[in-house]
A = this chain, B = another copy of it.
Amino acid sequence: MSRIWTIYLSGEIHSDWRERITDGVKAAGLPVELNGPNTVHADSDDCAVAIFGPEPDKFWHDHKSARLNAMRTRTLIQEADIVVVRFGEKYKQWNAAFDAGFAAAMDTPYITLHPTEHDHALKEVNAAAAATARTPEQVVQALAYIINGKMPG
């Protein structure tokens, strides 16, 4: 099979989980294209005012940037074969849950990635997920199995 699998990495931007998945799929030689949102926090907040001009009201400042970022995120989620949604230890991370709901409605399978302490709060998000992982390495193993049928270990 010559297929390239497109994987969208949604959610937390404050830990190295994307790097660990990137390294893992490279080490495993998996035919994947990894996409995701802009992960430079300050830029994703300020992009629209930097380009289109300032907004004195913080609500519209945020609004303009969120709509600009959405052109990237929606496009990439819509063409993903699989979405990985990461919830870190802190922050509200409502955009991660939003992406999960979006993927669910589009029938795009997604894997959640979060510590067990979030299990109860994420039960609806997990119920619609195709799998729940605890580490980035498990995500890589899942991709290796899905794509190549390779079992871990």
Residues of A within 8 A of B (CB): 1-3, 5, 33-35, 38, 40, 43, 46-48, 50-53, 55-60, 62-75, 81-82, 87, 91-107, 109, 111, 118-128, 130-134, 138, 141-142, 145-147, 149, 151-153
Q: Which of B57, B101, B149 contacts A101 (CB 8 A)?
A: B101
10 new A-B pairs (CB below 8 Å) besides A68-B142, A68-B145, A72-B146?
A59-B132, A63-B126, A68-B131, A68-B146, A70-B109, A71-B82, A73-B124, A94-B122, A98-B124, A101-B103
Chain B residues whose CB sits within 8 angstroms of the CB of A131 once the complex forms: 48, 52, 64, 67-68, 71
Interface of A is mostly: helix
For A122, give the chain B residue with the smallest CB separation. Answer: B94
Chain B residues whose CB sits within 8 angstroms of the CB of A128 once the complex forms: 70, 98
Chain B residues whose CB sits within 8 angstroms of the CB of A93 once the complex forms: 94
Give bound CA distance, A91 to B75, whole Å: 30
